[in-house]
């Protein structure tokens, strides 16, 4: 007999021969075993993709071991946990990142080469997990990596979209969207937890019932959908801790369907079951403009309800008294998208746990924190009351109740200032009565964070001024950061090795402040020489990719000037293109003898436009039309090339960023909440050409204004410039716009409305007034590039100053100042 539990465990451990081993033979055996039994191919005959699948499964086995250890350890220690609720995650590929964080990349590379495969080639087989749009979503992914690495007891929650962000296909220079059915070939990283499912209710009515003499609300739903958990392991670097990103998928609920079957309409009942899966089927591709769509609201509640049920179940496993809830649980709202969680927590505590309103509210106010990633009021989510009332009738009542109590309290504090009361109310009156999700989040959260210093100040001075005056202590700043594991170690192995060599340690991979140690060698000719070599190799890799994608051959001696990010008017890709036209025009009009003085450039632009964003799509087309003209002009040759990189995503970014000499972050001041792309370029020793917006202001503090190229109006100057009745259009800007209007690049009529945004009298994004200063910054960049040693020194100083922009710093700050959690490290270095 097996006897006691520990004897049982001991025997099982022996039967499995301990943990998986990481020597070369064991890894080879594991990979072949997965070829034969998981992928079900013969181990004598399998291709690169099948080899990748087998490899991924063998890595997954190791991740699962660690994630079991971590969860058991958390369970035993029962620390306060943070639950990170985000509607979007841009994870990209997982293979390289996982083996690097597990510390067994070289062992795998060796094992594969013994089998006749190359690690890098197999890693290329993996598709991106693109369950998000842009900055906010990639930030969530970076922060998960930091939470795991810093041993925080954290969980990520999100939605398992079957279709991620659309694939961008360019036809004749126009963007077309194609579905990204990323699960087509299976997803080796996830584990479906068939037993971790929760019913999620929708529609129906609320009835008052009498429970032991007390009135109580009972929600009788009209539809129930089951949420099933898919767990994705997130390994930390230099630790055994492996945390979990739990994504929910929709699944038909048997409970609800019984009735349909009983009515005899079998076929219809089966067809209806399919509807459940639709909830998690597709990611909305608009990253800013908000539309009050029912499916979107359904997605939000579905994800929130399943997550809250899961969190409460875990709490109840170890505790019976909800007074302890705030000591054990922190809930982080990543923007307003998950803020229905507030109403849901209240519903569960009041209607199901019968805690009473005041006690429930007291608990809710202690657990929620909220981070906002937007700058302008128009982008904030507003849910029409009618929509919410029909989909979630009980939640609407709860939000009304929260608002009623809040407004009553407010009246006591500020008196009957009706304008202010109506601005602060969670309910917006008007043609379409709606719920202001940001107001709901602020009222309940103990902390409201901005994502850069200037953004946090803007929130206090503008967007949430009224709330700041009421609750100044709630408002904090957590400047964004990115993970150096993904953005240097995985994507730029040569730079990684060079940094470790000169610092004499790899410790910077966990302790990124050590990068400042590079400052001492910034002028060292040997380091500079090696640094340039690394950049050259990365430029070569990028040049090959550009040629393969666009057929354009580019010179490695040229400055690679990159602007890759979502296409938005405020990000001003149009300013970049107008600047390129100006450069082209100058070269064309130059004496031939002068041309040798021109610093050659390869201008690279990439990014997706939201499918319904017409102006952004025109910017993409203009880029292609200009590229067509320039790249085929023999007068210009290698002095200027323009390429658009299609379908920009995380894995393309990993290739582009290390190969960039210069990158542009040129939003109209006051529009970019933070910007995180700039941080990735900075880490990779790329010089920035930027406006003083978002986190650039802090980058300047770190590396000094001499080490980047700043230009343009400052935040406080923008309102005044906008007020000018007819904005000044400098001659040079007017001239390039005229070229577009005159059809120099074709598509005359099509570009008309695009030109109007600049010279049509409004120029809201101030391209005209910033144009001159933009050209000056570009000229300064040319001048610096012409002196390779100077440039390389600036490049080294950029990397050396990038430590503050690691998500490790951001996450430590959140843990200490917002969530009140501590590391909980599995006691082994394994
Ligand atoms: C997406 C959807 C709704 C609201 C905001 C976003 C978003 O992606 N915002 C971006 O978040 C990044 C991370 O904080 C910031 O760096 C960007 O400036 C901001 O635009």
The DSSP line for 317-345 is HH-S-GGGHHHHEEEEEESSTTTHHHHHH
**ipTM (interface predicted TM):** 0.99
User: Could you tell me if 84 and 41 lie in one domain?
Assistant: no
* Residue 791 predicted with pLDDT over 80: yes
What's the pLDDT tens digit per position in 77-104? 999 999 999 999 999 999 999 999 999 9
Residues 472 and 550 in one domain: no
The stretches of 695-766 forming alpha helices (DSSP H) are 696-703, 718-723, 731-741, 748-759
CB 729 within 8 A of CB 767: no
pLDDT > 70? residue 138: yes
pLDDT at 44 over 80: yes
How far, in Å, from the CA of 757 to the mean position of ligand 1? 23
- Nearest residue to 235 (alpha-carbon basis) of 136, 78, 100: 100
Mean pLDDT of the chain: 95
197 strand-pairing partners: 228
Asked if the structure places residue 396 within a domain, the reply is: yes
Residues 251 and 330 in one domain: yes
Helix (H/G/I), strand (E/B), else coil: 708:
coil
User: Is residue 614 over pLDDT 90?
Assistant: yes
State if residue 694 touches ligand 1 by the CB under 6 angstroms criterion: yes
Q: Same structural domain for residues 631 and 716?
A: yes
Say which DSSP state 816 is in. I
Judge if the beta carbon of residue 335 lies within 6 A of ligand 1.
yes
CA of 341 to the centre of ligand 1 (A): 20
> What is the spatial distance between Cα 94 and Cα 486, in angstroms, rounded to a whole number?
10
Q: What is the pLDDT of residues 494-542, one digit of tens each?
A: 999 999 999 999 999 999 999 999 999 999 999 999 999 999 999 999 9
> Is there an atom of ligand 1 within 6 Å of 30 CB?
no
Cβ of 66 closer than 6 Å to ligand 1, yes or no, is no
Q: 374, 455, 482, 679: which to mutate for ligand 1, most atoms within 8 A of CB?
A: 374
**Based on the domain organization, do 608 and 619 belong to the same domain?**
yes
Q: What is the mean pLDDT of residues 244-271?
A: 80
H-type alpha helices, 476-572:
484, 493-503, 525-550
Query: What pLDDT score does 610 carry?
Result: 97
The domain of 402 spans 78-93+128-479
- 666: domain CATH number is 3.40.50.2000
Ligand 1 contacts CB of residue 373 (under 6 A): yes
* pLDDT confidence bin for 292, thresholds 50/70/90: confident
CA distance 35 to 57: 9
Q: Is residue 820 part of a domain?
A: no
Atom of ligand 1 nearest to the CA of 672: 18
489 with 455, same domain: the answer is no
What per-residue confidence (pLDDT) applies to 259?
63
Choose one of 447, 479, 511: the last residue of a domain: 479
For residue 564, report the distance from its CA to the centre of ligand 1, in Å. 15
- Whether 376 lines ligand 1, by a CB cut-off of 6 Å, is no
- Per-position DSSP letters for 14-46, written without gaps between them: HHTTSSPP-SHHHHHHHHHHIIIIIS---TTS-
Report the separation in Å between the CA atom of 522 and the middle of ligand 1, taken as the mean of its atom positions.
Answer: 33
Q: Which atom of ligand 1 is nearest to the CA of 451?
A: 14
Quote the ligand 1 centre to 675 CA distance (angstroms). 8
670 lines ligand 1 (CB under 6 A): no
Asked, for residue 788, whether it belongs to a domain, the answer is yes
Going from the Cα of 56 to the center of ligand 1, the distance in angstroms, rounded, reads 31
Supply the residue whose CA is at minimum distance from atom 7 of ligand 1.
136
Q: What is the 3-state secondary structure (H, E, C) of 207-222?
A: EEEEECCEEEEEEECC
At 400-422, the pLDDT tens digits run 999 999 999 999 999 999 999 99
- pLDDT, tens digit, for every residue of 563-598? 999 999 999 999 999 999 999 999 999 999 999 999
Task: Give the pLDDT confidence of 142-151 residue by residue, as tens digits.
Answer: 999 999 999 9
- CA of 335 from ligand 1 middle (Å) equals 9
Instruction: Judge if 229 and 113 occupy the same domain.
Output: no
Of all atoms in ligand 1, which is nearest to the CA of residue 139? 13
Confirm or reject: Cβ of 672 under 6 Å from ligand 1: yes
Contact 583, 640 (CB under 8 A): yes
Cβ–ligand 1 distance for 136 under 6 Å, the answer: yes
Is the predicted pLDDT of residue 132 greater than 60, yes or no?
yes
Mark whether 251 and 288 lie in a shared domain. yes
User: Would residue 2 count as lying in a domain?
Assistant: no
Q: Which whole number is the average pLDDT over 797-817? A: 98
Give the 3-state secondary structure percentages of the chain, helix then strand then coil, rounded to 5.
55, 15, 30
- Note the pLDDT of residue 1: 45
Assess whether 653 and 741 both reside in one domain. yes
Q: What is the pLDDT of residue 830?
A: 44
pLDDT attached to residue 257: 57
Among candidate residues 479, 507, 522, the one where a domain is terminated:
479
- Overall domain count for the chain: 3
Kindly state whether residue 826 falls inside one of the protein's structural domains.
no
Of 131, 135, 571, 613, best ligand 1 pocket probe by most atoms within 8 Å of the beta carbon = 135
In a domain, 320, yes or no: yes
β-bridge partners, 219: 206
Q: How far apart are CA 613 and CA 569, in angstroms?
A: 10
Query: Do both 589 and 644 map to the same domain?
Result: yes
Query: How is the beta sheet containing 559-564 ordered, strand by strand?
Result: 640-645, 601-606, 559-564, 662-665, 687-691, 709-711
Residue 673 CA: nearest ligand 1 atom is 18
Nearest-CA residue for atom 13 of ligand 1: 136
Same domain for 190 and 210? Answer: yes
Q: Which residues are designated catalytic?
A: 373, 565-566, 571, 676, 680
Q: Which of 808, 800, 791, 778 is nearest to 703 (CA)?
A: 800
In angstroms, what is the span from residue 546 Cα to ligand 1's centroid? 28
Sheet holding 427-428, edge to edge: 382-384, 434-436, 427-428
Q: How far is the CA of 674 from the centre of ligand 1 (A)?
A: 8
Burial label, 610 (beta-carbon count in 10 A; 0-12, 13-18, 19+): buried
pLDDT above 70 for 53: yes
| Whole-number percent of the chain with pLDDT over 90 | 90
DSSP-assigned beta bridge partners for residue 368: 331
| Nearest by Cα to 739 from 586, 555, 562, 536 | 586
At 473, list the tokens. 């202590």
pLDDT band at 261 (very low <50, low <70, confident <90, very high): low
> Is the CB of 563 within 6 Å of ligand 1?
no
Atom of ligand 1 nearest to the CA of 137: 8
Per the domain annotation, does 815 fall within a domain?
no
Q: Is the CB of 673 under 6 A from ligand 1?
A: yes
Evaluate: CB of 135 within 6 angstroms of ligand 1.
yes
Structure tokens at 787: 């002196």
Q: If residue 233 lies in a helix (H) or strand (E), which one and from where to where?
A: strand 223-235
Residue located nearest, by CA, to atom 2 of ligand 1: 287
374 lines ligand 1 (CB under 6 A): yes
For residue 413, count other CB atoms closer than 10 A to its CB.
9
Our answer on whether the CB atom of 693 is closer than 6 Å to any ligand 1 atom is: no
- Tokens 């990543």 belong to 334
HSE toward the beta carbon, residue 328, CA cutoff 13 A? 19
644 plus 773 within the same structural domain? yes
Contact 165, 254 (CB under 8 A): no
Q: Using the mean position of ligand 1's atoms as its centre, give its distance from the Cα of residue 453 in Å.
A: 15
Tokens 């170890």 locate to 318
Rounded to the nearest 10 degrees, what angle do helices 696-703 and 788-800 cross at? Answer: 110
Q: What is the per-residue pLDDT for 7? A: 81
Residue 814 lies in a domain: no
Among candidate residues 448, 479, 510, the one where a domain is terminated: 479
């Amino acid at each position: 007999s097996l006897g006691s539990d520990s004897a049982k465990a001991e025997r099982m451990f022996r039967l499995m021969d301990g943990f998986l081993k990481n020597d070369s033979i064991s890894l080879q055996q594991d990979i072949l075993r997965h070829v034969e039994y998981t992928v079900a191919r013969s181990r004598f005959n399998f291709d690169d993709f099948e080899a990748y699948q087998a490899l991924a499964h063998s890595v997954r086995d190791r991740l699962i071991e660690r994630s079991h250890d971590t969860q058991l350890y958390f369970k035993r220690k029962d620390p306060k946990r943070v639950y990170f609720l985000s509607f979007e995650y841009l994870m990209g590929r997982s293979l390289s990142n996982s083996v690097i964080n597990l510390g067994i990349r070289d062992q795998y590379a060796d094992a594969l080469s013994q089998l006749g495969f190359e690690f890098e080639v197999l890693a290329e087989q993996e598709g991106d997990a693109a369950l998000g749009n842009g900055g906010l979503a990639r930030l969530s992914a970076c922060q998960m990596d930091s939470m795991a690495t810093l041993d925080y007891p954290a969980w990520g929650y999100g939605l398992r979209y079957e279709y991620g962000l659309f694939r961008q296909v360019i036809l004749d220079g126009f963007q077309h969207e194609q579905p990204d059915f990323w699960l087509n070939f299976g997803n080796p990283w996830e584990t479906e937890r068939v037993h971790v499912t929760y019913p999620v209710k929708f529609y129906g009515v609320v009835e008052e019932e009498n429970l032991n003499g007390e009135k109580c609300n009972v929600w009788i739903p009209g539809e129930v959908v089951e949420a099933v958990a898919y767990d994705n392991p997130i390994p930390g670097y230099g630790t055994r801790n492996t945390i979990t990103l739990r994504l929910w998928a929709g699944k038909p609920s048997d409970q609800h369907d019984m009735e349909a079957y009983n009515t005899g309409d079998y076929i219809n009942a089966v067809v209806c079951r399919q509807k459940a899966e639709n909830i998690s089927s597709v990611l909305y591709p608009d990253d800013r403009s908000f539309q009050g769509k029912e499916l979107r609201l359904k997605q939000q509640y579905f994800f929130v309800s399943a997550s809250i049920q899961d969190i409460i179940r875990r709490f109840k496993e170890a505790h019976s008294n909800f007074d302890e809830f705030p000591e054990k649980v922190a809930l982080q709202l990543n923007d307003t998208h998950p803020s229905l969680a507030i109403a849901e927590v209240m519903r569960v505590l009041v209607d199901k746990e019968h805690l009473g309103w005041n006690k429930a509210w007291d608990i809710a106010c202690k657990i929620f924190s909220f981070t906002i990633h937007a700058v302008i009021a128009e982008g904030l989510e507003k849910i029409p009351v009618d929509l919410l009332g029909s989909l979630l009738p009980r939640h609407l009542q709860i939000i009304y109740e929260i608002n009623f109590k809040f407004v009553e309290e407010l009246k006591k504090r500020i008196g009957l200032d009706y304008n202010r009361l109506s601005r602060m109310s969670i309910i917006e009156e008007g043609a379409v009565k709606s719920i202001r999700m940001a107001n709901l989040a602020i009222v309940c959260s103990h902390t409201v964070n901005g994502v850069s210093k200037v953004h946090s100040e803007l929130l206090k001075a503008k967007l949430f001024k009224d709330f700041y005056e009421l609750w100044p202590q709630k408002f904090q700043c957590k400047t964004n950061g990115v993970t150096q594991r993904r953005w240097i170690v995985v994507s730029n192995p040569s730079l990684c090795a060079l940094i470790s060599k000169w610092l004499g340690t790899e410790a910077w991979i966990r302790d990124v402040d050590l990068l400042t140690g590079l400052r001492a060698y910034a002028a060292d000719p040997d380091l500079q020489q090696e640094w340039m070599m690394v950049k050259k190799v990365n430029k070569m890799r990028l040049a090959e990719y550009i040629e393969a994608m666009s057929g354009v051959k580019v010179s490695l001696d040229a400055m690679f000037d990159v602007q890759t990010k979502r296409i938005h008017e405020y990000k001003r890709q149009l300013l970049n293109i107008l600047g390129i036209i100006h450069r082209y025009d100058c070269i064309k009009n130059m004496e031939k003898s002068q041309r040798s003085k021109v610093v050659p450039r390869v201008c690279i632009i990439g990014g997706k436009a939201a499918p319904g964003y017409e102006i952004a799509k025109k910017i993409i087309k203009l880029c292609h039309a200009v590229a067509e003209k320039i790249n085929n002009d023999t007068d210009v040759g290698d002095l200027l090339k323009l390429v658009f990189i299609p379908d920009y995503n995380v894995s393309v970014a990993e290739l582009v960023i290390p190969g960039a000499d210069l990158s542009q972050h040129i939003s109209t001041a006051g529009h970019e909440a933070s910007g995180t792309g700039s941080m990735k370029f900075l880490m990779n020793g790329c010089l920035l050409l930027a406006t003083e917006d978002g986190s650039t202001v802090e980058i300047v503090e770190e590396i000094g204004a001499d080490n980047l190229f700043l230009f343009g109006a400052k935040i406080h100057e923008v309102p005044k410039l906008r007020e000018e009745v007819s904005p000044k259009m400098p001659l040079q800007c007017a001239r390039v716009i005229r070229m577009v209007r005159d059809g120099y690049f074709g598509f005359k009529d099509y570009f008309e409305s695009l030109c109007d945004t600049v010279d049509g009298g409004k120029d809201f994004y101030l391209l005209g007034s910033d144009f001159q200063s933009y050209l000056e910054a570009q000229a300064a960049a040319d001048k610096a590039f012409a002196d390779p040693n100077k440039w390389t020194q600036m490049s080294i100083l950029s990397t050396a100053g990038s430590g503050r922009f690691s998500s490790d710093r951001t996450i430590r700050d959140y843990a200490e100042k917002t969530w009140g959690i501590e590391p909980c490290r599995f006691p082994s270095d394994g």
